[in-house]
Amino acid sequence: MSQTTPMPATPTTKILAIGTFPPGTDMQLVQRILPTEVRETAQLYLEGKIDQWYSLQDRTWGGVHPERDGRQSSA
Protein backbone atom coordinates (compact mmCIF):
# COMPACT_ATOMS: atom_id res chain seq x y z
CA MET A 1 0.00 0.00 0.00
CA SER A 2 1.29 3.40 -0.85
CA GLN A 3 0.62 6.36 1.35
CA THR A 4 -0.68 9.51 -0.24
CA THR A 5 0.22 12.91 1.02
CA PRO A 6 -2.89 15.04 1.66
CA MET A 7 -3.29 18.07 -0.55
CA PRO A 8 -2.28 21.30 1.16
CA ALA A 9 -5.16 23.58 2.13
CA THR A 10 -5.83 26.33 -0.37
CA PRO A 11 -6.85 29.62 1.26
CA THR A 12 -10.06 31.24 0.07
CA THR A 13 -9.15 34.59 -1.45
CA LYS A 14 -12.41 35.62 -3.11
CA ILE A 15 -16.07 34.82 -2.56
CA LEU A 16 -18.85 35.65 -4.99
CA ALA A 17 -22.16 36.34 -3.26
CA ILE A 18 -25.25 36.60 -5.44
CA GLY A 19 -28.68 37.39 -4.07
CA THR A 20 -32.06 36.96 -5.70
CA PHE A 21 -35.65 37.12 -4.54
CA PRO A 22 -37.52 33.87 -5.19
CA PRO A 23 -41.12 33.90 -6.39
CA GLY A 24 -43.51 34.67 -3.56
CA THR A 25 -41.09 36.96 -1.72
CA ASP A 26 -42.86 39.64 0.32
CA MET A 27 -41.57 42.68 -1.56
CA GLN A 28 -42.93 45.04 1.11
CA LEU A 29 -40.60 43.34 3.59
CA VAL A 30 -37.75 43.64 1.10
CA GLN A 31 -38.43 47.35 0.68
CA ARG A 32 -38.21 47.82 4.47
CA ILE A 33 -34.95 45.88 4.78
CA LEU A 34 -33.17 46.87 1.57
CA PRO A 35 -32.17 50.44 2.56
CA THR A 36 -30.28 49.08 5.59
CA GLU A 37 -28.70 46.31 3.50
CA VAL A 38 -27.52 48.84 0.90
CA ARG A 39 -26.06 51.19 3.54
CA GLU A 40 -24.24 48.32 5.30
CA THR A 41 -22.95 46.93 2.00
CA ALA A 42 -21.75 50.39 0.94
CA GLN A 43 -19.94 50.78 4.27
CA LEU A 44 -18.20 47.40 3.80
CA TYR A 45 -17.16 48.53 0.30
CA LEU A 46 -15.78 51.83 1.63
CA GLU A 47 -13.85 49.92 4.32
CA GLY A 48 -12.23 47.77 1.64
CA LYS A 49 -13.97 44.59 2.74
CA ILE A 50 -15.79 44.24 -0.58
CA ASP A 51 -13.65 44.23 -3.70
CA GLN A 52 -16.41 44.59 -6.30
CA TRP A 53 -20.08 45.46 -6.16
CA TYR A 54 -22.50 45.36 -9.06
CA SER A 55 -26.15 45.01 -9.96
CA LEU A 56 -27.90 43.42 -12.90
CA GLN A 57 -30.26 45.58 -14.96
CA ASP A 58 -32.82 42.83 -15.53
CA ARG A 59 -32.78 41.56 -11.92
CA THR A 60 -33.82 42.95 -8.56
CA TRP A 61 -30.46 42.19 -6.95
CA GLY A 62 -26.78 41.95 -7.80
CA GLY A 63 -23.64 40.52 -6.31
CA VAL A 64 -20.58 41.38 -4.27
CA HIS A 65 -17.03 40.08 -4.08
CA PRO A 66 -15.97 40.32 -0.42
CA GLU A 67 -12.25 40.28 0.30
CA ARG A 68 -11.22 37.14 2.16
CA ASP A 69 -7.42 37.21 2.16
CA GLY A 70 -6.86 36.97 5.91
CA ARG A 71 -6.27 40.68 6.32
CA GLN A 72 -9.91 41.67 6.33
CA SER A 73 -12.60 40.61 8.75
CA SER A 74 -15.41 38.52 7.30
CA ALA A 75 -18.00 40.52 5.42
Q: Which tens digits make up the pLDDT trace of 7-47?
A: 888 887 788 877 778 889 998 998 899 889 889 988 988 99
What pLDDT was estimated at residue 19? 77
Give the Cα separation of 75 and 61 in Å (integer).
Answer: 18
pTM for the model stands at 0.54
Which carries the bigger pLDDT value, residue 49 or residue 1? 49
Q: Which tens digits make up the pLDDT trace of 45-56?
A: 899 888 887 776
Q: What is the 3-state secondary structure (H, E, C) of the chain?
A: CCCCCCCCCCCCCECCEECCCCCCCCHHHHHHHHHHHHHHHHHHHHCCCEEEEEECCCCCCEEEEEECCCCCCCC
